[in-house]
Amino acid sequence: MSNDRRNETQLLCDILGLESLVDDITSKLLASSASETPSAILGPFYRHNAPLLPNGSSIIQDLDPSVPWYTQAVADSAHVTGRVLSSSGEPIQGAIVDVWHAAPNGLYEQQDEAQPDMNFRGRFMTDAEGRYSFYALRPVSYPIPDDGPSGRLLKLLDRHPYRPGHIHFIVSAPGFRTLTTQLYDDRDHYVTNDAVFAVKDELIVKFVPKEGDPKALWLLEYDFVLGRK
Ligand code: BEZ
Ligand code: FE
């Protein structure tokens, strides 16, 4: 089942909790301060070299409006912003915030012919106050690919394949340990029952209604705290 768009071995590790277990052990060994943002698994859908975009721009690329989920999805857009800080609270200028999330049909762009290349992906560089800012969709839960051996194993174990709605992040800056993590929408039913065991309480966030912004219905504010190398 594995090819350049799908890694079935990693999926198997994920549903058995292996990737989350390795993340849990490693993050505890590496963390030097309790204020550091917890890490979470990378997952199999990261792509290098997402477009480097100016702060305040959108990772939602134009799609054919006949794609069934497109109009409703764009209406559920969110402004995501915050700062990247050191564990002593200083802003980190020039940090790279690399983000990606799935489409409302549950597919990442490399899984889906209907989506443009690099849709729902982008990299943003923090300003002098350590601030990043972008527009995205409010993420929804999706099933991990379950049409192969991992899916068969899930069925045998009487388990579902869903992950709670989340946005993936890799936050990096010179002199600091790179943080791979995810933020989980607290409205999501699967936040307490993730098929790959990756949710940590500190990573569950609240999207609040945003007024007066024609580009977003929701606001998510989140500061990332990086540990020094
Ligand atoms: C993900 O979050 O993209 C993911 C993680 C583990 C397995 C499948 C997908
Ligand atoms: Fe994901």
Side-chain-side CA neighbours of 2 within 13 Å: the count stands at: 9
CA of 116 to the centre of ligand 2 (A): 18
186-221 tens-digit pLDDT: 999 999 999 999 999 999 999 999 999 999 999 999
d(CA 225, CA 176) in angstroms, rounded, equals: 10
Q: In ligand 1, which atom is closest to the CA atom of 145?
A: 8
E strands, 87-129, are 96-100, 121-125
Q: In the structure encoding, which two tokens stand for residue 100, read together?
A: 């990606």
Least confident of 59-73, 129-143, 190-204: 59-73
For ligand 1, whether the C-beta of 44 sits within 6 Å is yes
Task: Evaluate whether 167 touches 98 at the Cβ level (below 8 Å).
Answer: no
State how beta strands 218-221 and 77-86 pair: parallel
pLDDT higher than 80, residue 72: no
CA of 46 to the centre of ligand 2 (A): 9
149-182 tens-digit pLDDT: 999 999 999 999 999 999 999 999 999 999 999 9
Q: Which residue, judged by its Cα, is nearest atom 5 of ligand 1?
A: 43
Residue 200: what pLDDT?
97
CA of 183 to the centre of ligand 1 (A): 13
Mutate which of 144, 183, 190 for ligand 1? The one with the most ligand atoms within 8 Å of its CB, which is: 144
Average pLDDT over residues 129-145: 96
Mutate which of 9, 15, 45 for ligand 1? The one with the most ligand atoms within 8 Å of its CB, which is: 45
Q: Which residue, judged by its Cα, is nearest atom 3 of ligand 1?
A: 43
d(CA 171, CA 177) in angstroms, rounded, equals: 9
Q: Which residue, judged by its Cα, is nearest atom 6 of ligand 1?
A: 43
d(CA 5, CA 48) in angstroms, rounded, equals: 13
27-53 tens-digit pLDDT: 999 988 889 999 999 998 999 999 999
- 91 DSSP assignment: B
Task: Evaluate whether 95 touches 229 at the Cβ level (below 8 Å).
Answer: no
Q: In ligand 1, which atom is closest to the CA atom of 144?
A: 8
pLDDT higher than 90, residue 99: yes
CA of 43 to the centre of ligand 1 (A): 4
The torsion angle over the Cα atoms of residues 108, 41, 144 and 113, rounded to 10 degrees, is 20
For ligand 1, whether the C-beta of 163 sits within 6 Å is yes
| Cβ-proximal residues to 144 (8 Å cutoff; 6+ apart), any chain | 11, 14, 15, 150, 161, 162, 163, 195, 196
Model pTM? 0.96
d(CA 195, CA 184) in angstroms, rounded, equals: 14
> Of the candidates 41, 37, 73, which has an alpha carbon nearest to the alpha carbon of residue 58?
73
Q: Which residue, judged by its Cα, is nearest atom 1 of ligand 1?
A: 43
For ligand 1, whether the C-beta of 43 sits within 6 Å is yes
